[in-house]
């Protein structure tokens, strides 16, 4: 692959520079360093970001909304509404739908996706086989990792434990979980313990759905913090949704947030889905299911934002566009100052990179893998406000997407 240069870009830190790519990697960043390179893209001061990482999406479920019966809009309603569709999945059907959303994601600047994939006795291993096939189909434009996700519980869905092992053997990268879905605290604790044991057996990271409920008395986040410390899995654990924390008492919240910070746990908030899903039984003041983002950030916990759902039983919208996710999430979490807007950017870039343990291979810096995206606007607040897609997207140093926006005001 030839060398190429992006000329006069605004970098995430606000400085202006050229960026030289050689093969898969960024090799030089600095004013004028691209002058001698023949293949050039003129950035004209546009913002150059590392490509987004969507670290919480459900690719097996995407684009099935039209097949489902209408339900009451709750998490339980959505899970049950999906059963019939899940029973009828074929590997090819999952593969085709997942690939479509991966391609949409790339067009809007995401080149890494980590998908939870249902593993249970309803769909068996069909969803994981379909998503793994889509990941292979799309390996030239994006890197997709998978999480074996026991959507129906483990203890309450006998047979799932064996399927979870089989999913890890089939190539799933990360062990998922959904402890709050079990009946009673003993079963929840056993669910957490069992998932960490599986993670240790496969030397895998852990990424669980945690307390996706309005019930502020549910405590599985504390169980995950305890188990992370007991097993020495610090820095290898992500928790998603964590809605109940917003309804929990302040003393518990402060304690468990400090526990997350101490154990290096990354929290993924998914406001786009949870804003429509949670608080369905409330009147007047409606709980909106967004976790305590500002308190987590203040305590030094890494907070990521994920798309979670695209046109499925849980959420009728979504297009794999993390710029949209960042904007909705900034509204939900009340992120408005300059520093807070930078945290909204980190939530779709550097924080998920931490959860993936990418280290120096992520970013707009020499040595990083050249997964990049270039915007027309010069700064992140304007990119976030205007919501125009990136002009160009690079994956492993190759340009994999380009978008031209043309608007004409007539009259």
Tokens of 212: 């996706």
Cβ partners under 8 Å of residue 177, min gap 6: 149, 150, 154, 191, 192, 195, 206, 208, 209, 210
Characterize the bridge pairing of strands 392-395 and 372-374: antiparallel
Question: Shortest gap between Cβ of 131 and Zn ion (angstroms)?
Answer: 14
Question: Shortest gap between Cβ of 238 and Zn ion (angstroms)?
Answer: 11
Nearer to Zn ion, 118 or 308 (CB): 308
C-alpha to C-alpha distance for 182 and 218, rounded to whole angstroms: 11
- Give, in degrees to the nearest 5, the angle at Cα 162 between 87 and 120: 25
Nearer to Zn ion, 94 or 384 (CB): 94
Nearer to Zn ion, 10 or 273 (CB): 273
- Rg for the chain, CA atoms, rounded: 21
Question: Shortest gap between Cβ of 324 and Zn ion (angstroms)?
Answer: 17
- 260 closest CA partner among 303, 203, 200: 303
Nearer to Zn ion, 55 or 373 (CB): 55
Nearer to Zn ion, 10 or 329 (CB): 329
Nearer to Zn ion, 8 or 312 (CB): 312
Characterize the bridge pairing of strands 48-50 and 372-374: antiparallel
Characterize the bridge pairing of strands 3-10 and 16-22: antiparallel
C-alpha to C-alpha distance for 318 and 320, rounded to whole angstroms: 6
Nearer to Zn ion, 55 or 111 (CB): 55
Nearer to Zn ion, 308 or 371 (CB): 308
Question: Shortest gap between Cβ of 4 and Zn ion (angstroms)?
Answer: 37
C-alpha to C-alpha distance for 298 and 295, rounded to whole angstroms: 5
Question: Shortest gap between Cβ of 371 and Zn ion (angstroms)?
Answer: 23
Residues binding Zn ion (CB under 5 A): 308
Question: Shortest gap between Cβ of 213 and Zn ion (angstroms)?
Answer: 13
C-alpha to C-alpha distance for 371 and 51, rounded to whole angstroms: 5
Question: Shortest gap between Cβ of 270 and Zn ion (angstroms)?
Answer: 6
How far lies 346's CA from each of 247, 299, 363, in Å? 25, 16, 11
Q: What is the largest CA-CA distance in the chain?
A: 68
Question: Shortest gap between Cβ of 341 and Zn ion (angstroms)?
Answer: 25
End-to-end CA distance of the chain: 47
Q: Which residue lies nearest Zn ion, judged by its C-beta? A: 308
């Amino acid at each position: 692959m030839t060398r190429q240069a992006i000329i006069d870009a605004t970098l995430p830190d606000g400085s202006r520079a050229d960026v030289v790519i050689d093969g898969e990697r960024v090799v030089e960043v600095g004013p004028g360093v691209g002058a001698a390179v023949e293949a050039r893209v003129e950035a004209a001061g546009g913002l150059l970001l590392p490509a987004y990482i969507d670290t919480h999406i459900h690719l097996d479920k995407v684009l099935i909304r039209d097949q489902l019966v209408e339900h009451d809009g709750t998490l339980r309603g959505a899970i049950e509404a999906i059963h019939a569709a899940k029973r009828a999945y074929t590997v090819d059907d999952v593969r085709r739908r997942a690939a479509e959303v991966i391609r949409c994601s790339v067009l809007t600047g995401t080149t890494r996706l980590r998908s939870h994939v249902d593993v249970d006795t309803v769909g068996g291993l069909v969803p994981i086989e379909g998503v793994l096939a889509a990941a292979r189909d799309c390996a030239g434009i994006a890197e997709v990792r998978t999480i074996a996700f026991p959507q129906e519980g483990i203890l309450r869905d006998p047979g799932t434990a064996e399927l979870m092992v089989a999913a890890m053997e089939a190539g799933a990268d990360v062990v998922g979980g959904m402890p709050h879905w079990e009946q009673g605290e003993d079963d929840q604790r056993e669910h957490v313990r069992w998932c960490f044991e599986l993670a240790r057996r496969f030397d895998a990271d852990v990424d669980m759905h945690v307390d996706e409920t309005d019930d502020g008395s549910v405590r599985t986040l504390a169980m995950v913090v305890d188990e992370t410390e007991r097993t020495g899995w610090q820095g290898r654990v992500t928790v998603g949704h964590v809605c109940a924390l917003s309804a929990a008492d302040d003393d518990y919240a402060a304690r468990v947030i400090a526990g997350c910070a101490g154990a290096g746990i990354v929290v993924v908030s998914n406001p786009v889905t949870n804003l429509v899903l949670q608080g369905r039984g409330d009147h007047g003041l409606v709980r909106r299911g967004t976790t305590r983002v500002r308190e987590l950030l203040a305590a030094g916990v890494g907070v990521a934002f994920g798309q979670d759902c695209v046109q499925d039983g849980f959420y009728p919208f979504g297009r794999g566009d993390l710029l949209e996710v960042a904007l909705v999430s900034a509204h939900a979490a009340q992120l408005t100052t300059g520093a807070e807007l930078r945290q909204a950017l980190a939530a779709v870039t550097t924080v998920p990179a931490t959860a993936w343990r990418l280290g120096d291979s992520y970013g707009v810096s020499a040595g990083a893998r050249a997964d990049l995206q270039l915007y027309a606007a010069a700064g992140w607040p304007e990119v976030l406000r205007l919501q125009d897609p990136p002009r160009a997207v690079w994956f492993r140093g190759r340009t994999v997407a380009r978008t031209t926006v043309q608007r004409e005001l007539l009259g």
